Amino acid sequence: MPKQNKILVDTNAYLRLAQTVRPLLFVPFGDQQYCLYIIPELNDELARHRLQLKFPWITEQEYRDNRQFSPKISKKQKKAIAENFDFIWRNIQTEPGPSRVDALYLAYALELNIPVVTDDQDMKKVAKEYDIIVMPTIELLKIMYDAGHVTLSTVKGLVEYWRYIEDKPANLDADYLKFFGA
């Protein structure tokens, strides 16, 4: 059995996918054994009243239970993540950009050498500076589709829903064409 290939899912990608792909996290899929994770700090971010008003489903037990899974990290990795975060956060404080949780996602991805799914253009810009692998949500959906984890109708339904609610990921149309061709 191949080693599990971990992928981090940032806040926006989580919010865009969790109600449709259930359970979203900690379910290996495909021959490559991809498995999606969040960082523990996402739960702190989702505990904010504003997000709970906008996304009331995040407080439901099914989703809270699924968000209990984050990558296992050693004490040495935890220290390196903290150092990465301090460095990244200091460097992005000079101008508007990624949030603290976004910077933490980047710090985790850098230390664990795993990709993070994000559509946040500021986050992608910072990731590029540190050679952190990022992918848009639609690319993750392509990986899931190719692995038989989601259907094409699920992907099309999500894309249409994002357009309808006017919550399109950045570059959605170009990325959809790139990964799905039509």
CATH number at residue 112: 3.40.50.1010
Domain that holds residue 16: 5-180
Residues composing the chain: 182
| Segment 93-108, tens digit of pLDDT | 766 789 999 999 999 9
pLDDT, mean over the chain: 94
Model confidence pTM above 0.75 = yes
Q: How many CB atoms lie within 10 A of CB 130?
A: 14
Quote the CA–CA distance of 168 and 164 in Å, as a whole number. 9
Q: Are 46 and 73 in contact (CB under 8 A)?
A: no
Q: Phi-psi bin for 114: left (phi > 0), alpha (psi -120 to 50), beta?
A: beta
Total domains in the chain come to 1
Two structure tokens written together for 88: 């990244």
| Segment 120-136, tens digit of pLDDT | 999 999 999 999 999 99
The DSSP 8-state label assigned to residue 22 in this structure reads: S
| Segment 41-69, tens digit of pLDDT | 999 999 988 899 999 999 999 999 999 98
The DSSP 8-state label assigned to residue 49 in this structure reads: H
Residue 40 scores a pLDDT above 90 = yes
Residue 1 scores a pLDDT above 70 = no
Helix axes 152-164, 172-180, angle to 10 degrees: 170
Residue 3's pLDDT band, with cuts at 50, 70 and 90, is confident
Query: In 3D, which of 142, 144, 123, 145 has the Cα closest to residue 134?
Result: 123
